[in-house]
Structure 1
Amino acid sequence: MGLLTIGTFAKASRLSPKALRLYDELGLLTPACVDPVTGYRLYAPEQLDQARLVAWLRRLGMPLVRIRHVCTLEAGPAAQEIRAFWAQVEADTAARRDLATFLIDRLSGKEPAMSATAKPLGIRYAALSDTGLVRASNQDIAYAGSGRCWYGPGPRSRCHP
């Protein structure tokens, strides 16, 4: 089988000619040869595997820069890179799902749900800041512990049993 025109190669790889031109410009999928007179791009049948890999990775939503990196790797490291990419996609999707749920509940007038097993948050540590060069007293102190908390200018300005 000889060289394939960009149209034939596009159909076989399920990439558009426009995408193939872009991938050529980016050095991601360079044609086997370009006719010097017409500028037509011709692809070798052996390039179909890489073209299909690029198409699949684009369908996953992988950015072109990362696809270029994956295409330079051997099979094992390439699989690891795809696995790492997909783990990040799943983490991002979970975070967006949680945000969407929060927004839906908030806009619906629902209170955020707290599971029966979750404990309320508590402060475990306190911080004390210097008075600095401008203030006469420290106004940035805060502490909370079991049954006590104080905050405001100076230590223990307000106590709660």
Structure 2
Amino acid sequence: MELLTIGAFAKATRLSPKALRLYDELGLLPPARVDPITGYRRYAPEQVQRARLVAWLRRLGMPLARIRHVCSLDAGAAAGEVRAFWARAEAETAARRDLAAFLVDHLTRKDPAMSATTPALGMRYAAASDTGLVRESNQDTAYAGSRLLAVA
């Protein structure tokens, strides 16, 4: 079995030597052998698949601690973890997309329900209040403005 230098392994896996050193430090992808005198790292060809999996999971944005957990699972459970991670990432992205759309509309003072071709609607409002049969005094408040109608 011919071990690969860190440079050859980096080229085969498309990971930088710096990333490989970090993954070794974290116990995520330790080399097959480290020379005790020079500190040179050597990797086994069988480690290429795990290194590629780590690289793909990093490209998804998965944190290294979670990648370590995923790599410790069998294939079915690992696939479930990736599926759960991606579902959460999509939900977070959708929430950020909605917030960004709201902010753009808010900052440009556009009503999100109106398009450029929709004529503006006029709103008339009136409010009346009554103490009713139970209360001794009236505590109702009404507010109406060009963009808000509220009753409390």
Fold-level similarity (TM above 0.5): yes
Q: Percent identity?
A: 72
**Paired residue total:** 125
Cα distance in 2, alignment partners of residues 149 and 72 from structure 1: 68
The two structures have a TM-score, normalised by structure 1, of 0.72
Contact 2:130 2:138 (8 Å CA) reproduced:
no
2:52 matched to which residue of 1? Answer: 52
Q: Does 1:106 align with 2:106?
A: yes
1:141 matched to which residue of 2? Answer: none
1:157 matched to which residue of 2? Answer: 138
Cα distance in 2, alignment partners of residues 58 and 69 from structure 1: 13
Structure 1's consecutive aligned runs of 4 or more residues displaced over 3 angstroms after TM superposition are 154-157
Contact 1:33 1:43 (8 Å CA) reproduced:
yes
The two structures have a TM-score, normalised by structure 2, of 0.76
- SS of match in other structure, 2:9: helix
Uncovered stretches (5+) of structure 2, i.e. residues with no partner: 115-128, 142-152
Contact 1:149 1:158 (8 Å CA) reproduced:
no
Q: CA RMSD in A?
A: 2.3
Task: Give, in angstroms, the shift of residue 106 of structure 1.
Answer: 0.5
Deviations 1:31-73 (A, max 9, x none): 0000011100000000000000000000111000100000000
Task: Give, in angstroms, the shift of residue 113 of structure 1.
Answer: 2.0
Which of the pair has the greater relative contact order for Cα pairs under 8 Å at 6+ separation? 2
2:24 matched to which residue of 1? Answer: 24
